[in-house]
Chain A
Amino acid sequence: MTLPPFALRRPVTLDEALRELTEDSVPYCGGTELLLAMRAGLHRPDALVDLKRIPELSGVRVEDGVLVIGATERHADLATHPVIQERLPVFARMERHIGNARVRSQGSIGGNLCFAEPKSDVATVLMALGASVTLAGPEGRRTASVEEFVVGPYYAEKEPDELLVDVRIPLRDGLRGAYVKFQTMERPTVGVAVLADDAAGWYRLGVGAVGEVPLAWSFGSLGEIDPDEVAAWIDPTPDLSGSEEYKRHVTAVYVRRALAKLEQVSA
């Protein structure tokens, strides 16, 4: 299908962008999800508001022990960003293997979260990391955890006149992390993130792509993570990549594989 006609707006400040947004005038960055939806006739906005020229929405920095990633940062750039590679290698590795080369070089982290594609890697790892997002709207700014933000398949808790500004990930010294995914089709069947801050006794497990939304849990030790129990907690979506029963089974397999991989990761 050809793309239906639309107007293209190109604001250069966040305020300008916010003034442009309506139900029919929607944010646009990499377009890897939006343009496909438009080509498929699922979505027909009058205008696209291109966010790529807004400096406030880009950049990667560390602020008070928190890694702050601008919403328009692209996956390929995050995968190779020196600060992320040094401070949060598990996140950089995940970014290096998401989607395909075109998605990584075009798609943005903000767009990924706002689209809330259920078969995504990003939200799973961010939930496990306890990350949050900053949103700007006509009423000002607000913060929400990724769990509060990504609430359903293709549904993020964001008003049409709001913009995602950045993603904030609290950094922990000595954090170990592993992310593994089972993928036989175009998108992952299940992704599992395990994180360990041994000094603080802080352990997190995230499981995504298998159900409608990613889920994450805290544990007091790695030994408390029972892969078969985790498989019972999830609510798999049966589809062409597997039945509910099979997806539960491979979730347990991949929780085990994530734990095994974590053992090989030094702090």
Chain B
Amino acid sequence: MSGGRAWVYGDDINTDVLYPGAYLKGPIEEAAKHCLEAIDPTFVPNVRKGDIVVGGENFGIGSSREGAAEVLLMHGVPVVLAKSFARIFYRNAFNVGLVALVCKDTNRIAKGDDLNIDAAAGTVENKSKGETYSCETVPPHLMEIVNDGGLVPHLKKRFGRTS
């Protein structure tokens, strides 16, 4: 279960907006300071642990840079909700321990809405509006990866078991 305030954006939020190329070279902590800056300079100074990022269609389109998912996690965002995700971003999210949930009702969510999310059950409770939305179920093997904290800890567990 995760809960927090919604940061709502539109369609096609791309990886250059999430993690500008100019910061690819340096430490991720520096890149994180510029997350979403091009479209919302208020995000980084105001985001709080537990907040939820909400997008429209095709969230995370663009580069394969995994930092695009990682920086959200570094800002304390545990879940991204979107109507659809770009496929590399979707995989990257689970691989680094960020939950990406496909929810077709994200247009009903407004900036600042108080959300309560149950990823396993696939539900989003919008406490501000008194509504509940359902999400597509996450494939079990991805839930397992994210519950282990990402692909590397997941593989560590698997190798530990088999060796």
Report if A and B associate in a common complex.
Answer: no
Chain B positions within 8 Å of A, measured between CB atoms, are none
Chain A positions within 8 Å of B, measured between CB atoms, are none
